[in-house]
Amino acid sequence: MCVWFVVSIIGMCTMVPLHFLSVEHLKLQKRYGMEKGTKIGDILGLISGWGFFSFWFGVWLSPQPRFIIPILENLALFIPIINLSILLVHLLISLPFIIIGAWFGIGSVKETTLKVAETHRAEKIVSTGLYSVIRHPQYFGGILAHIGISIILSSLLSLITTPMVILLNYLISWKEEKELVKEFGKDYEDYKKKVPMFIPKLRK
């Protein structure tokens, strides 16, 4: 019953080293030349980024044990389009996570452009908007959305793996920052000192 879930988890983990390779822009350009190295990095970024998200989608939707929060458990909304019943209390708890997560995710893409989000190749340090309060708003938003979607779908295994999801996103962020320091030097080091990595600062 959980084969799909296991495959999705393994798939997410497999995309992480591929992502590591995709952000080694200077190394790729040195080995293959500026144009070819950039193109290889962009392709690896697209594969690892969309691959990671696709497997993450599988984690949420795969057949797995369901859980029930024992409050108003008899109240549910039935959605005929996808033939799914959603417990009202799960909906109420999950919506803040999903809405805030989507706001961080979409807002970060607007700040950096979709191309940067897909290829993980930044041409400059973005420190405005959401990036002035958190260094990785897209990944932070993804983690919040993961929690919310796991709750709204009552996906037990998905919710249990939240620490692993946080760890994978942390590793990706750590590697990206390591490469950004190589590319932008002291400017990015200064940015790191001013803005937290994963917990948004409430005051600028």
User: What are the residue ranges spanned by the domains of the chain?
Assistant: 3-194
8: pLDDT strictly greater than 90? yes
35: pLDDT strictly greater than 70? yes
Rounded to the nearest 5 degrees, what angle is found at the Cα of 154, between the Cα atoms of 52 and 9?
25
Mean pLDDT, the chain, integer:
90
How would residue 141 be classed by pLDDT, with cut points 50, 70 and 90? very high
Determine the longest span between alpha carbons in the chain, in angstroms: 62
> What number does CATH give the domain 3-194?
1.20.120
Pairing of strands 84-87, 76-79: antiparallel
pLDDT, residue 87, reads 83
36: pLDDT strictly greater than 90? yes
Residues of the chain with pLDDT > 90: what percent? 73
More confident residue, 117 or 13: 13
pLDDT, residue 70, reads 81
Taking the model in full, what pTM does it have?
Answer: 0.91
pLDDT, residue 143, reads 97
Residue range 62-106, pLDDT digits in tens: 999 988 888 766 766 656 555 667 888 888 899 999 999 999 999
What are the C-alpha distances in Å from 26 to residues 39, 48, 49?
Answer: 12, 18, 19
pLDDT, residue 60, reads 94
Which range, of 70-74, 139-143, 157-161, 174-178, averages the lowest pLDDT?
Answer: 70-74
User: How many C-beta atoms surround the C-beta of residue 166 within 10 A?
Assistant: 17
Rounded average pLDDT over 149-177? 95
